[in-house]
Chains A and B, each alone.
Chain A
């Protein structure tokens, strides 16, 4: 069997993830990993998944979304709601978590689709700010809603209320959802990361993926050769939202308390994921995973650096953008034949066609 260069590159990415998993398992068996480090593994996976999902929109589709934390929030809440509701019904834990994952992913996909309809008509800055707005609306809405059931049925309100007789509060306003079963394990998270990688790499290398990249490089030219802009933009955005939703499910099933607070689902989280994507290389799927791993684990290991961590991130973010995108820097690189520092390979895409 012969592989193309791209397939090989994709396989290396998967092998890299599997190797990472094996190394961690070996270290765990040897008893080297502290409890603290083990607690970081699942978050590392869901942030990687979110970063890969965001890279599909930012790198492959070429639109900036600042609302991916909102899709994580949708996935997290819908899946947690399901898990809490069926917790006492005797459903086997494996099946319950699988269903929760599917529900979270589908709900996020649905929201991605619905939000995509208006959002994808916009361009550039407007698109970024509207996705941010949607993310904040989702978060604020879920932080304000109360949902519970009792003898009289299901109640939804924006004020705290009393349940009559037998019943349970499912979403308790700003207190969120309590008692989500902690089903997320490192193994499951790695499997889902691999699945997400598989889905995205296949999409990117397909006919649809090439259409999406054509839209990114020149929307008008793509339209002229008959590519259905709306369809492919929606496809990329919905898939990205769905995968971000899966990351959200892993998030919500990692701890038993889930609240829609700014710390977890605010636009700052979307920006943090964007930092992972940009530092890993816009459009470079493998880079997103590596950047997330380094940026997430390293500061936790170097506790002393922690107060400087975000400062360093921000400086690195600015410097990388300047080196990679400034016309003067591009001209300098072209003259001396230096490859872009980090980022997708741009064959002539930086040049204006005149």
Chain B
């Protein structure tokens, strides 16, 4: 907010949006090198202790064993089916959670009687880990897909709700005043101001609960499932195939990382007005 710049920017071209990115790439290079080094050192140590026989393969298989096991389950498509099955459950449960929690959260955040009515119930539901819902959901829904989706839903919807309520309440009241002053109806204020104003917070909530949704589906699959990454790990354990357990674990990490990456992409596409802030 310097005076000279203000005056100048009244006259000259728009601010250069690419300037900063360029300057930081040089400083990033040693960071990336160290990142790679860390992973590399870990793998070397792992290979060393297992190949030299310092740790029994009964407790920890070597990285080469894990890699060949991975190639095997990838070739038979077993791994891909497991990833697809888990991803679909997460996606369905998560979509359901968002569909219920976002409208409800906006309502609770902008209309106090709704919040007063539901707050106590939510306080009771919130401390329950999603695995505690496994017995009831199995009784109601069996052990099929619906039950897995229900576990994902129960584990993630509350977080979406809480983030939505909080970010709805935090929409700047002066923007609502301004909209009404410009002739917006109550409904238009909701659509034009409250919803977009709360959107960054809602998306943060979705990202947090996406990670939670993944842990929900895996625990549900470990208890009772024929397919999915959780089931893959659990049955591998029963067969004493530790390498396959590790393949499952690495696959979970990779899948959740990819999901996170996609979520970040989506966030950037949905919040074009935040690009300025992100760069500063």
Chains A and B form a bound pair: no
Interface, chain A (partner B; CB < 8 A):
none
Interface, chain B (partner A; CB < 8 A):
none
